[in-house]
């Protein structure tokens, strides 16, 4: 099946539930469906893929109110069909980038090593357009807590450091007609349960009791990393 066709097929499905089985077929059965959410700007207006600045780090919360994801429009198209094999857990086929030039990708920003993530206060994990000293290269996602390095062009596979698995992929849908983007689920190993259990105290404080685990649905506002966090830590 052609990618274009696939996206079209998905777009004809009115709801996530209907869209999901098609994504599932495409990805070898590894999509975990979550509520479908359209990516919007801060005012809630639909975001278009071409409006994203290339190699800028954007963040949106998905699939839960408190779980941040990176949204990136890479310098180059990100090829699909890559087989990713976490150390523990089932292999899955990464669907590649979306958008007219297949360069838009999204990943959960929670580091699967020991769960560092971008918060309003700080982020030790970030996409680096310039060269990272710790990684020795540019164009990678680096977690400075213990030096894990991920490759966003190839499904956020692990390039270095102690991470046991790639960052969880956020499955995106793209409407080629409107250029709008939707998050529909995840692929790979989810670490949300561990995240909630590790940060329950802080999340309750920040979001209000229990609100941090509300599923995101309808709209998912996107921010630049500069707005999302007060302190971007690079290494």
Partner 1 sequence: MNKFSRRSFFKLSGITAAAAATTPLAACASGSDIPHAAGITGKAADLPKAKGPRVVVVGGGWSGLTMAKYLKKEHPDFDVVLIEKRGLFMSCPITNLWLADQVKLEFLDHSFLDAAKNNNYIFFNATVIDVDRKSRKVYTEQGYLKYEYLVLAPGIDYNYSAIGVTDPVDVNTLKTNYPAGFMPGSEHLSIKNKLAEFEGGVFVLTVPQGNYRCLPAPYERTCMVAAEFKKQKIKGKVLLLDGNPDITIKKDGFHHAFDELYKGIVEYQPGAIIKSVDVAGKTIKTEFDSYKFDDGAIYPRVRASRLIETLGLVKPDSPQFEANIDPFKYNVIGDEHVYVTGDARPMGFSKSGNTSNSEAHYVAKVIAAHAQGKEIPWESPHTVCFSAVMIDPLESISVDAHYKYNEKEKHFGFYDVKMVQNWSADRGQANLEWARGMYRDMFS
x/- track of binding to ligand FES for residues 84-123 (CB under 6 A) = ---------------------------x-xx-x-------
Q: Which stretch binds ligand FES (CB under 6 A): 16-24, 44-52, 60-68, 145-153?
A: 145-153
Q: How far apart are the first and last CA of the chain?
A: 41
Q: Which of 74, 143, 191, 222 binds ligand FES (CB under 6 A)?
A: 143
Instruction: Record the tokens describing residue 65, joined without a space.
Output: 């109110």
Partner that binds at residue 90, options partner 1, ligand FES, none, CB closer than 5 to 8 Å by kind: none
Q: Which of 9, 162, 217, 219 binds partner 1 (CB under 8 A)?
A: 162
φ, ψ of residue 71 in degrees (nearest 5):
-120, 125
Does 194 participate in binding ligand FES (rule CB under 6 A)? no
Does 168 participate in binding ligand FES (rule CB under 6 A)? no
- Nearest one of 189, 146, 183, 144 to 166, comparing CA atoms: 189
Instruction: Record the tokens describing residue 102, joined without a space.
Output: 């297949």
Q: Residue 7, SS3?
A: helix
157-160, strands of its sheet edge to edge: 125-128, 140-143, 148-151, 157-160
Least CB distance to partner 1 at residue 178 (A) = 39
Q: Cβ distance 59 to 119 under 8 Å? A: no
* Placement of tokens 């290494």 in the chain: 235
Strands 31-40 and 180-187: antiparallel
Q: Which of 89, 115, 204, 224 binds partner 1 (CB under 8 A)?
A: 115
Least CB distance to partner 1 at residue 160 (A) = 9
Does 57 participate in binding partner 1 (rule CB under 8 A)? no
DSSP 119: -
* Placement of tokens 């649905």 in the chain: 217
Q: Which of 38, 103, 148, 229 binds ligand FES (CB under 6 A)?
A: 148
Question: Which residues of this chain interact with partner 1, rule CB under 8 A?
Answer: 113-116, 122, 124, 133-134, 144-147, 162, 194, 197-198, 231, 233-235
Question: Which residues of this chain interact with ligand FES, rule CB under 6 A?
Answer: 111, 113-114, 116, 143, 145-148, 161-163
């Amino acid at each position: 099946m052609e990618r274009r066709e696939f996206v079209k097929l998905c777009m004809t499905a009115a709801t996530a539930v209907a869209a999901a089985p098609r994504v599932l077929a495409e990805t070898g059965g590894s999509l975990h469906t979550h509520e479908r959410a359209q990516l919007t700007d801060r005012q809630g207006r639909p975001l278009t893929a071409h409006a994203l600045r290339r190699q800028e780090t954007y963040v949106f919360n998905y699939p839960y109110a408190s779980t941040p994801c990176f949204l990136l429009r890479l310098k180059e198209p990100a090829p699909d069909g890559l087989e990713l094999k976490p150390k523990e857990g089932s292999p899955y086929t990464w669907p590649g980038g979306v958008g007219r030039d297949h360069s838009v990708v999204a990943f959960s920003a929670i580091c699967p090593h020991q769960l560092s993530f971008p918060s309003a206060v700080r982020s030790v994990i970030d996409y680096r357009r310039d060269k990272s000293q710790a990684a020795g290269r540019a164009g990678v996602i680096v977690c400075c807590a213990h030096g894990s390095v991920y490759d966003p062009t190839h499904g956020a596979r692990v390039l270095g450091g102690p991470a046991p698995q790639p960052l969880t992929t956020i499955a995106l849908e793209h409407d080629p007609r409107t250029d709008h983007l939707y998050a529909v689920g995840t692929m790979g190993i989810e670490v949300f349960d561990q995240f909630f259990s590790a940060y329950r105290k802080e999340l309750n404080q920040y979001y209000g009791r229990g609100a941090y685990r509300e599923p995101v649905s309808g709209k998912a506002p996107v921010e630049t990393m500069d707005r999302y966090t007060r302190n971007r830590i690079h290494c």
